Amino acid sequence: MTEFNPVLRLNQQTEGFGSVCDPFSGPPNYTYTPEKCSKDSIQIGEIPNVLQRFTCYEDFSTGNCIGDGRFLPEASYMMVRAYSRSIQNLINIFPDLQSLTQCSFVNDAFMDIFWHQCEPFKASSRMLWASMLSLSIVMVVLLLLWVAKAYQNRGGSFSVCSIIPRPT
**pLDDT tens sequence across 38-55:** 888 888 888 888 888 888
Say whether pLDDT at 130 is over 90: yes
Give a yes or no: residue 79 inside a domain: yes
Q: Would you list the DSSP string of 84-116?
A: HHHHHHHHHHHHHHHHHHH-HHHHHHHHHHHHH
The residues, any chain, with a CB within 8 Å of residue 41's CB and separated by 6 or more, are 18, 19, 20, 21
Give a yes or no: residue 111 inside a domain: no
Give a yes or no: residue 94 inside a domain: yes
Give a yes or no: residue 1 inside a domain: no
Q: Using one digit for the tens of pLDDT, what is the confidence trace for 70-119?
A: 678 888 888 999 999 999 999 999 989 888 888 888 888 888 887 787 78
Give a yes or no: residue 157 inside a domain: no
Confidence of residue 138 (pLDDT cuts 50, 70, 90): very high
Count up the domains in the chain and report the number: 1
Residue 87 belongs to domain spanning: 6-103
> pTM above the 0.85 mark?
no
Rounded to an integer, the average pLDDT of 53-59 is 76
Measure the CA–CA gap between 75 and 87, rounded to whole angstroms. 19
Phi (first) and psi of residue 39, to 5 degrees: -70, -30
How many C-beta neighbours within 10 Å does residue 77 have? 19
E-strand stretches of the chain: 55-58, 65-66, 72-73
Confidence of residue 69 (pLDDT cuts 50, 70, 90): low
Give a yes or no: residue 117 inside a domain: no
Percent of the chain with pLDDT over 90: 21
Give a yes or no: residue 149 inside a domain: no
What is the pLDDT at residue 133? 97
Percent of the chain with pLDDT over 70: 76
